[in-house]
Structure 1
Amino acid sequence: MNNTAAKIILLLLFTANFAFAQVTHKDTLSERRTSPAVNPLTELKEQLDDFFGDKSFNNAVWGVMVKSLKTGEVIYRRNADKLFTPASNMKLFTSAAAFLSLGSNYKYQTSFMGNGEFLRGTLKGDLIIQGSGDPTFSNRFYSSSKKIFEDWADTLKAKGIYEITGDIYGDDSAFDNIGFGKGWHLDYESSWFASPSSALSFNDNIIEIRIEPSEINFPAKVSIDPDTRFVTILPKVLTADESAESNIKAARVRGTNLITVSGQIAKGTKTITEHVSISNPSLYFLTVLREVLEKSGIVIRGKIVRLDEADKNIDQNNLVPIFNHTSVPLRLIIREMNKNSNNFYAEQILKTIGLEENDLGTVDNGVKTSKILFNDMGINSESMVLADGSGLSRLNLVTPRQIINLLTYMYKHEDFIKYYESLPIAGIDGTMADRMKRTVAQNNVHAKPGYNEFVSSLSGYLKTISGEPLVFSMIVNNYLTPPALANYIHDNVCQRLINFNRN
């Protein structure tokens, strides 16, 4: 073959390849033009279906709703109108009702009054403390559990009172005497997270127990805070060798303040702390208060008694005011309740709502007022069950849509920023401090988690990468998997929602 023929063959081959490439390119462009574009919203819904369709939850039921606060569009829903046990998502309702009913600047008043005459440093008569349900008398708001009582001792002495010849009475009539919630499991009675409510309360109505190792095979060191004679501790903890596993159990005998601490603690172990609820909160308050007053040098001749158990008639119209203690604003109390999922605070606040609107702090009165508020929000309160303020009760029933409607209403309310800032922040603080760390959700998701046996929930607010504000509610009931798996789904859904972009 000569050079000319070779060149002709090469030219023909090049021309054929070029023509084929052009056809292929046209076909590819044609296919691109005819292939339907992926709809971001459709893709999101499919992915959320995959999350909530996880086979580990085949025996469970998910209730979910996601809504845009920008457009009002419901982005996703799954059993949104079914009733679920919400666990601590109930605190979203309690705190919203408190903001609307009481106001963010509401403050509790605790009054000190004298029943008798004041003469040369002596109250010749009785000291009466009238409570209104203030939950803050603890180291959550003061430097130590007894600090507020020490301050009160200083105030009494500044008023010239160094001796009280009569009794110290606690007036807890602002609330009823039903401390244990409706629908709470009886096994919770001595648990710190189920401490009783009362118009006179102290230290969250719990006792802190500290266990330290001593020498091997010898009893461990057991101490309490506050150090008080109100409770009786039966220590049954031995110190085991370094290789042993520490195992401590602290429980209160039902209806008493006798607390048994049992088990073992390994040598070299750091102090182990347990918390147990107490019985008779008003008497707890009065006992520790008396101990602090006496330690400060104030002589008390009489006894401590709840006012409704007084053995004499006390005319409250003739009492002499000594001083009033005013709490921090309600917005800070709600912040503690929501950030740390404080059940005790939630029950106190619900009864306070009832007290202010119906003159007696009861759960029923608090619920009655709250339901009126929820109806005004457009939430049909007849289609929900509110049994307590904390969500500890298994009798509570709400729908994801009701939670969404609540959160949407609060988004437009003048106290929204205070409400929003009271919620735990993913990866930052409260009960969300260790969740979604180092993800797009950190410092973005503001939400209230909830947990009870076979119940896990998460509801709140977030913003997508395009800045669109979303409100969401996820509840799962009757699951048998480890709670961490439910959290995993909650957290991943939040991250997926944040990455949602309509463009």
Structure 2
Amino acid sequence: MKYLTTLVFGLLLFTHAALAQGLAQKIENAFEAFEREPNMKYGIASITVLNGNTGEVMYAKNEGTGLATASTMKAITTATAYSIMGSNYKYETSLRYSGTIDGAGVLNGNVIIQGTGDPSLGSENFDETKPEDILAQWVAAIKRAGIKKINGSVIGDDILFNGHMAPSGWTWIDMGQYYGSGVSSLNWRENKFKIILSGKGRVGDPAPLQRTDPDKPYLKIINEVTIGKPGTGDRVYAFSAPYSSFIVLRGTYASDLNKQIEISVPDGALDAAWSLQAALEKEGVSVEEPANTAFLMKSEGETIPLETTLLDRYFSPTLSQICYWFMKRSINLYGEALLKTAALQEGSEPETSEATDWEKEFWSELIGEGEGALKIKDGSGLSPESRVTTMAMAKILLHAKKQNWFGSYYENMPTYNNMKMKSGTIGGVLGYTGYHTAPDGTPLVFSFLINNHMGGSQPMRLKMFKMLDALK
């Protein structure tokens, strides 16, 4: 009987090993075929597939070569945020005032919106973060305090992250677009807004700016967009920089197009302060001075008074809820806010360069890979300077699989090609990283990156999906 049991156990081990070898060979064959694709003639591809239970390398090729990640970087940033803050973490934004309120309801001081980095404040993605509801809550709190007039101004306190910044690796062409919005410790409506253009007229004529949504009277918008040929779509680009008071619009807007275009706000904290001031004045509460921010005041040698009184406390959705939209919609702003918040909580400076240095050290120690395998330049992957190896990325996902927050992390991963994985796309770069279960029940962790491919992104995605089908 003992001999029979040993024999059966041995056969099971042999069968499992044979299946594992068969899967590895299948992946190898598919990857080698992918490398021979004409679109990869001048490119490079890297893949790492790990056993999700043991960490054993099932297959890897070019796994030690650092490649641009595009938005697959968000899988790393999310794991970082979960590790430091936990899935139930909430940001707090407080509404305060300085000075005193006299008997006539006049505030001789300022109303202050004190931010701690919440990237979802005023976002349309959540029921509880709608901008009109938050503004109504703040106006009501100000009125409850008996304030009928403000002799000072509404100030956005964005000083925790040292102001509104875009990572140094971001490009000029990206920063003015909605996906290139910079981050501060006070963000508002994801630091973006809509422009509505008209394509009525002849090709080559100016495309008039009809309005913005919401209104932005404090910004000067220089519109140089012209009407494009039918079928050419949206080729409009916005050019602005942090703290800019004007935005330049260039490009073409097709004559048959009917689309609202989103662009970034140069200063989200100032936009939040201006929005609250407008809401107050609409409700009959006058504000004497223009909206301002703590960072802009600092540049003038001024500071917010230390003595303030609390009016209202607002709490964000949980980190898990924020990361759902961060992963699903690949919102770059969220990545930068999460990275800075995690770094700050661990005692690092919230500057992007300091935060990424801390993050590289954090993960290098946990996964046993050198810092050269994690040349991280931002939290979102928008920087073309970031370089990460697929081995390092796969090991981070393997580490996440063993944590008590993994269920939330896994659920927030998008699904593509019937596989749980985060995608990434930027000029000449495509990537997928995530989890899958092999036909024999083996859990797999993988990272697959390509750089400098030829041709369009969509045909290459389909080729990548075909290669990843080898894991099924």
TM-score by length of 2: 0.85
Does residue 133 of structure 1 match 2:117? yes
Name the SS for the 1:65 alignment partner.
Answer: strand
TM-superposed deviation, 1:108: 1.2
Distance 1:302 1:425 in 2: 49
Name the SS for the 1:101 alignment partner.
Answer: helix
Distance 1:178 1:219 in 2: 31
**2:215 partner amino acid:** D
Distance 1:351 1:276 in 2: 23
Deviation readout 1:314-368 (Å, 9 max, x if unpaired): 6744212222211111111112111111111101111112222227422133224
Does residue 118 of structure 1 match 2:101? yes
TM-superposed deviation, 1:64: 0.5
Greater displacement, 253-262 / 132-141: 253-262
Residue 449 of structure 1 is aligned with which of 414, 423, 447? 423
CA shift in 2, pair 1:359/1:237, >3 Å: closer
Residue 385 of structure 1 is aligned with which of 366, 375, 383? 375
TM-superposed deviation, 1:173: 1.1
Does residue 335 of structure 1 match 2:328? no
- Residue number in structure 2 paired with 1:487: 461
- Residue number in structure 2 paired with 1:92: 75
**2:75 partner amino acid:** L
- Residue number in structure 2 paired with 1:296: 283
Deviation readout 1:253-307 (Å, 9 max, x if unpaired): 55442343664543xx463121222223322222222112212322212232223
- Residue number in structure 2 paired with 1:407: 397
**1:93 partner amino acid:** I
- Residue number in structure 1 paired with 2:292: 305
Contact 2:431 2:448 in 1 (8 A): yes
Residue 154 of structure 1 is aligned with which of 106, 130, 140? 140
**1:162 partner amino acid:** K
- Residue number in structure 2 paired with 1:346: 335
Deviation readout 1:220-267 (Å, 9 max, x if unpaired): 5622111221323345667799x675555242355442343664543x
**2:136 partner amino acid:** E
Does residue 181 of structure 1 match 2:171? no
**2:393 partner amino acid:** I
- Residue number in structure 2 paired with 1:418: 408
- Residue number in structure 1 paired with 2:216: 228
Residue 463 of structure 1 is aligned with which of 437, 446, 450? 437
**1:180 partner amino acid:** A
TM-superposed deviation, 1:425: 1.4
CA shift in 2, pair 1:301/1:61, >3 Å: same
Distance 2:226 2:452 in 1: 39
Distance 1:351 1:119 in 2: 40
Deviation readout 1:164-198 (Å, 9 max, x if unpaired): 12222222110023612122222223122211111
**2:151 partner amino acid:** T
Distance 1:473 1:245 in 2: 35
Contact 1:237 1:248 in 2 (8 A): no
TM-superposed deviation, 1:378: 2.1
Contact 2:173 2:239 in 1 (8 A): no
Distance 2:172 2:225 in 1: 25
Distance 1:377 1:385 in 2: 16
Contact 1:96 1:410 in 2 (8 A): yes
Greater displacement, 302-311 / 272-281: 302-311
Does residue 355 of structure 1 match 2:344? yes
CA shift in 2, pair 1:497/1:313, >3 Å: closer
Contact 1:460 1:471 in 2 (8 A): yes
Contact 2:294 2:304 in 1 (8 A): no
CA shift in 2, pair 1:247/1:334, >3 Å: closer
Contact 1:220 1:265 in 2 (8 A): no
Distance 2:124 2:278 in 1: 18
**2:106 partner amino acid:** T
- Residue number in structure 1 paired with 2:470: 496
CA shift in 2, pair 1:149/1:317, >3 Å: same
Name the SS for the 2:453 alignment partner.
Answer: coil
TM-superposed deviation, 1:71: 4.7
Does residue 396 of structure 1 match 2:383? no
Deviation readout 1:394-435 (Å, 9 max, x if unpaired): 221111111111111101110001111121112xxxxxxxxx
- Residue number in structure 1 paired with 2:11: none
Contact 1:222 1:235 in 2 (8 A): no
Contact 1:99 1:415 in 2 (8 A): yes
Distance 1:491 1:187 in 2: 30
Does residue 58 of structure 1 match 2:41? yes
**Structure with higher RCO (Cα < 8 A, 6+ apart):** 2
Distance 1:117 1:166 in 2: 11
TM-score by length of 1: 0.80
Distance 1:124 1:492 in 2: 67
Name the SS for the 2:31 alignment partner.
Answer: helix
CA shift in 2, pair 1:288/1:261, >3 Å: farther
Distance 1:303 1:104 in 2: 38
Structure 1 unpaired stretches of 5+: 1-35, 427-435, 499-503
- Residue number in structure 2 paired with 1:106: 89
- Aligned-residue sequence identity (percent) comes to 25
CA shift in 2, pair 1:44/1:186, >3 Å: closer
- Residue number in structure 1 paired with 2:15: none
- Residue number in structure 2 paired with 1:276: 263
- Residue number in structure 2 paired with 1:17: none
**2:66 partner amino acid:** L
CA shift in 2, pair 1:63/1:244, >3 Å: closer
Structure 2 unpaired stretches of 5+: 1-17
Greater displacement, 152-161 / 193-202: 152-161
Name the SS for the 1:318 alignment partner.
Answer: coil
CA shift in 2, pair 1:179/1:313, >3 Å: closer
Aligned residues: 444
Distance 1:309 1:141 in 2: 30
TM-superposed deviation, 1:58: 2.0
Deviation readout 1:463-485 (Å, 9 max, x if unpaired): 23343321111111122222223
